[in-house]
Amino acid sequence: MQAQDLIRHLRIPELDDLRQYVRSLPTNTLMGMGAFAAITTYWLATRPKALKPPCDLHMQSVEVQGSRYARRSILQHGDTYMTYYYKDAQTMYEFFLRGLRVSNNGPCLGSRKPGKPYKWLLYKEVADRAEFAGSALLHRGHSQTGDKYIGIFAQNRPEWTISELACYTYSLVAVPLYDTLGTEAISYIIDKATISTVICDIPDKARLILDCVSGRKHSITTIVIMGNFDRELTAQAQQKGIEVLSLKELEDSNSLRELMYNFFFLFFSTGSPKGAMLTHGNVVSNCSAFIKITEGLLKPSPQDVLISFLPLAHMFERVVEGVLLVHGARIGYFQGDIRFHTTAELLHSPSELLHIL
């Protein structure tokens, strides 16, 4: 008896009963239901379609003939290693020059303050500033064959990319520093690479560098700060035999695929950071592989904008920026606080937001 009552209670209502129920609903409720149905139908009809994979995801590689266990991408024709995608972009410096050309000297790097619109540097402006800074580094004793490692200790901003471009304009090597593991890791990297010049974004990071070298023998001779700083910091540095100057002062003081692009330190869960030496050929090949995989699906252009907020001290973001720059696109940097990111997205109207999930 209880089962019959339950079935009777759960039975589907008759059509006439349903009509009567609907008629009894208030007009505003019916209008809301209709609007919801219309919005749902529109979303289903216009929602973005999933990207079609460039190959069968169950067979993305094939074995290289004559080798054991080695495999190559199925997208590559033949077993030849892909070293570049564009013939005129075989180093990261040439990546930038190609971007300058295809963008017709369009907007390149942008930043903004809270509540303010983005201010953009043109490709030629970025190239000039990098050339001025790089030539100043040469004048201060850096060279490809000698003191070639330049530390960059900063959050994402246009000056980060300008500093890096300054390095490979004159065959110097950028060494990213980051403080996630504290001063011990920073000290280790400075000593391991024998870094004499560190470019910082803010005075606090310059002070952190001073703390790292305090009371011991070190290689640091110069700290360059991207923003403003006070005389007290200058005095503290002078006591340790270190000169402090601004990036603007550095700019105002006036080879190739196998050259080293970057001395990149990898952090593991235990032990000291491990240095990985990357050539321009390594990074160009990586960027070219991304362009190859996404050709037909994603073709960056000078109209595209990248919001840069992943740490530039990591190679992932550097590769992404390389892919955008070689196509003449622009890069807008976040304000230093991820909580402002949604606002930045709306103001940028980016065509693609690349990030790690």
Q: Is 60 a member of any domain? A: no
The tens digit of pLDDT for each residue in 62-110 reads 888 887 788 888 888 877 788 999 999 999 999 999 999 999 999 999 9
- Domain hosting 158: range is 72-348
Residue type, 288: S
9 sits in which H/E element: helix 2-10
The tens digit of pLDDT for each residue in 231-249 reads 899 999 999 999 999 999 9
Q: Is 110 a member of any domain? A: yes
Q: Is 55 a member of any domain? A: no
Q: Is 98 a member of any domain? A: yes
Give CA–CA dist 154/304, Å, rounded: 25
Q: Is 63 a member of any domain? A: no
Residue type, 262: N
Q: Is 135 a member of any domain? A: yes
Q: Is 8 a member of any domain? A: no
How many domains does the chain divide into? Answer: 1
Taking the model in full, what pTM does it have? 0.77
| pLDDT at position 72 | 85
Residue 268 backbone phi and psi in degrees, to 5: -115, 175
| pLDDT at position 256 | 38
The tens digit of pLDDT for each residue in 30-47 reads 788 888 888 888 888 888
Q: Is 341 a member of any domain? A: yes
Query: Exposure string (b/e) for 255-288, b if CB count within 10 Å is 16 or more?
Result: eebebbbbbbbeeeeeeebeeeebbbbbbbbbbb
Report the CATH number that the domain containing residue 160 is assigned in CATH.
3.40.50.12780
